[in-house]
């Protein structure tokens, strides 16, 4: 485990464990052993637990029903097994540089998706109430790119002098407001698709003062490259010309604009 790994793991231990010490003391658990002498008691316990577990089982499977909702990515998403434990740091968290900026740009660039009328309808959306592209298609977005945009925002705020040199305090307040929103976006998404793999802790007194996180668990991940390639192929550049929704143009009696495409 390299030192960066250890740093990360330490950060993952909650503050109250920072005074960690190994306690060799093992509490005797004799209090958990007891005898059930009366078979009458056993029979009613069996019947009772059967009723409770049937109900719990029913509720459990209701909660586990998995019906995947529509996404235009459904035909491109593939899965692979990955180590559940976060691996070595990537370029996205390196110190600011033109290379880092390019990497983030490539990651976030598919943020504007060219959606079709049919895709919007399948996603319960109303095409007539949606901003369009002058060249055709609808201004859409794939969820993860909103989150990645948000994560980059947080990265920028961690490197304030580089990304927001000489900003006014009003601009700073506005930007921090955006970053707080971004934190919430990422939080909600983490809680929606939690990493449920089992992690544990090792303790190496020679090198670490406190236990460090470890895991040999696997986790099912979406194959990022084919997904990202698809999203990129469906994206539009930032300088694309937008056209207001059909409904708005009609309301403003400007539907003739559509004919000018």
Ligand X SMILES: *[C@@H]1O[C@H](CO)[C@@H](O)[C@H](O)[C@H]1NC(C)=O
Which residues form the interface with ligand X (CB under 6 A)?
114, 116, 133, 135-137, 165-166, 236-237, 239-241
Distance separating alpha carbons of residues 27 and 108, to the nearest angstrom = 53
CB of 235 to ligand X, least distance (A): 9
Q: Which is nearer to ligand X, 112 or 152 (CB)?
A: 112
Q: Which is nearer to ligand X, 40 or 237 (CB)?
A: 237
Strands 113-115 and 138-140: antiparallel
CB of 178 to ligand X, least distance (A): 20
Cβ-based neighbours of 10, under 8 Å, separated by 6 or more? 208, 210, 212
Strand-pair partners of 240: none
Distance separating alpha carbons of residues 167 and 160, to the nearest angstrom = 9
Q: Which is nearer to ligand X, 150 or 243 (CB)?
A: 243
CB of 137 to ligand X, least distance (A): 3
Q: Which is nearer to ligand X, 114 or 157 (CB)?
A: 114
Shortest Cβ contact with ligand X: which residue?
Answer: 137
Residue 249's closest CA among 239, 258, 237? 258
Q: Which is nearer to ligand X, 85 or 167 (CB)?
A: 167
Given a contact cutoff of 8 angstroms between Cβ atoms, the answer to whether 73 and 227 are in contact is yes
CB of 10 to ligand X, least distance (A): 36
CB of 110 to ligand X, least distance (A): 13
CB of 103 to ligand X, least distance (A): 19
Q: Which is nearer to ligand X, 19 or 166 (CB)?
A: 166
């Amino acid at each position: 485990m390299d030192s960066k790994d250890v740093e990360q793991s330490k950060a993952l231990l909650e503050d109250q464990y920072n005074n960690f010490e190994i306690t060799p003391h093992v509490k005797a658990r004799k209090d958990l052993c007891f005898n059930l002498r009366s078979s009458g008691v056993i029979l009613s316990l069996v019947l009772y637990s059967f009723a409770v577990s049937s109900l719990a089982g029913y509720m459990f499977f209701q909660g586990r029903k998995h019906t995947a909702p529509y996404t235009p990515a459904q035909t491109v998403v593939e899965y692979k097994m990955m180590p559940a434990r976060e691996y070595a740091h990537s370029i996205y968290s390196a110190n600011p540089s033109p290379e880092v900026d390019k990497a983030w740009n490539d990651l976030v660039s598919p943020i504007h998706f060219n959606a079709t009328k049919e895709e919007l309808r399948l996603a319960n959306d109303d095409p007539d109430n949606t901003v369009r592209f002058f060249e055709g298609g609808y201004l859409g977005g794939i969820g993860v790119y909103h989150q990645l945009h948000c994560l980059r925002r947080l990265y920028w705020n961690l490197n304030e002098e580089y990304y927001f040199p000489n900003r006014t305090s009003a601009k700073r307040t506005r930007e921090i407001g955006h970053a707080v929103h971004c934190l919430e976006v990422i939080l909600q998404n983490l809680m929606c698709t939690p990493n449920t793999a089992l992690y544990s802790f090792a303790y190496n007194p020679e090198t670490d003062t406190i236990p460090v996180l470890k895991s040999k668990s696997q986790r099912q991940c979406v194959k990022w490259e084919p997904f990202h390639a698809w999203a990129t192929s469906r994206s539009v550049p930032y300088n694309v010309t937008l056209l207001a929704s059909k409904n708005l143009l009609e309301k403003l009696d400007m539907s003739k604009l559509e004919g000018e495409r």
